[in-house]
Every structure is written in structure tokens, then in C-alpha cells.
Structure 1
Amino acid sequence: MKIYYSKHFPPKGFAAINLFGIIIGRKEYGNLSKYELNHEKIHSRQIVEMLWVFFYLLYFVEWLIRLAQYRDSLAAYYNISFEREAYSNDKNLNYLKNRNWYSFINYIWHD
């Protein structure tokens, strides 16, 4: 997994972004923690199982749906199923060893 650091990307407030399996961390936040790296590794697995393009397509469509639902872009982001799975499991460093394919589906519907 390649990790790069940038002064301007991702946007402030976000430590890293995963673009096609390449991690870009925000330089001013320092090196990514093991939990942030695990979060991005979870996204890498999601990206592969969704054949790259479908991950980003579904991610954007779900963000639009959540935006209509919550009327807040940040709340929409945190409630995307891919993000919910990654945030729920990023502290479990063994998660990917036992994760089933398409596990993000379990995070689509919630209260």
C-alpha cells in the first residue's frame, strides 16, 4: 500500500483519503496512526471487491441519498455504508482477517 502526504489534500478535517488503493494523508496532521491506516485498508478491500469504479459510483450515490436524508454533508459522509463499516472496525486491527466479502452491506440500513 502506497502512502503519500500532501499539504492541500484531503480537505481539512480529514486525515486521509483512499484513491484506488493509494492513501493520501494530510501532511499537517503527521503520520497516520495504525487505526487510520486500518480504516484505509478496510476501504482498500471495499474498493477491490466493488471493482474500483463501482465503489466510487455507489459511494457518491449513497452520499447523495444520505445528503437528502440528513441535509448535512458531513452527516451524510459519516452515514455512508462504506464509512460506517470502516469507522466501526478501524480499532480492530484483526478485522480484515475475518471480514466477509461485501460486509459493508450490513451497514446500509440503520436506525
Structure 2
Amino acid sequence: MVFISKFLVPKGYIGITVFPFVILKYQYLKTNQKLINHERIHLRQQLELLIIPFYVFYGIEFIVRLVKHRNWRQAYQNISFEKEAYANEKDLNYLESRPFLNFKKYINI
């Protein structure tokens, strides 16, 4: 389910996924298929890890990346979940053939 709220999306971002919702900053973003696919990949990741563990792993990995890179944006872009979503967001059929727990191949600590 997609919601629009410029107040719930953190500054510097245009969308966020909090299972089972995709929250976008602006109405026009609902037609951005690449962005919607990116967020749908996150929904699948969250489901595979039973939601709460996804957020735990995401947070831990972000902190590790932040310590390593000392740069917020670089840390975010190097989270394995984000790497998978960015690498496959243009492939609108990706989720149909995506292997279970596929984000593991993007981990490189």
C-alpha cells in the first residue's frame, strides 16, 4: 500500500518502506516505476527476514558502514539491502525470478 507524506519521509530521501507500507514524499512519485520497484524489493527483503530482524540487520549494517566510511550517504549506499535494490530497480520483472535471501550476495564487509 502506497501512502504520500512529506513529513514521514526523512530529509534527503523521496521514499521509505516500512512493512507493509511504501511512503513517498510526493504524489507524482507513484508513477515512477523504478522507484516503486526499488521499494517493492525492500518489501520482499523485509518479508524474508520476518520484518523485525530486517530492521535490526539494516541498522547494524548501517552503523558498521558509517564507522567504515565516515560518510552518511556512502554508508547508506553500501548497505547490502540497498545495493540489491539499486542494482535491480530498473528490472521490473526482478521480483518474479529473485532467489530467496538474494541480498546476501551484496554483502561485502
User: What's the TM-score bracket when you normalise by the shorter of the two chains?
Assistant: over 0.9
TM (norm. structure 2) is 0.93
Q: Identity of paired residues, percent?
A: 41
| 2:82 corresponds to | 83
Describe the superposition over 1:32-79 as per-residue Cα deviations: whole angstroms up to 9, x where unpaired: 300100001100100000000000000000000000110011110110
| 1:69 corresponds to | 68
What stretches of structure 1 move > 3 A for 4+ residues in a row? Answer: none
1:11: Cα distance to partner? 1.9
1:101: Cα distance to partner? 0.6
Q: C-alpha distance in 2, partners of 1:71/1:90?
A: 26
TM (norm. structure 1) is 0.92
| 1:14 corresponds to | 13
| 2:49 corresponds to | 50
Amino acid at match of 1:67: L
1:92: Cα distance to partner? 0.4
Q: C-alpha distance in 1, partners of 2:11/2:60?
A: 23
The question of whether the paired residues in 1 share the 8 Å contact of 2:29 and 2:35 is answered with no
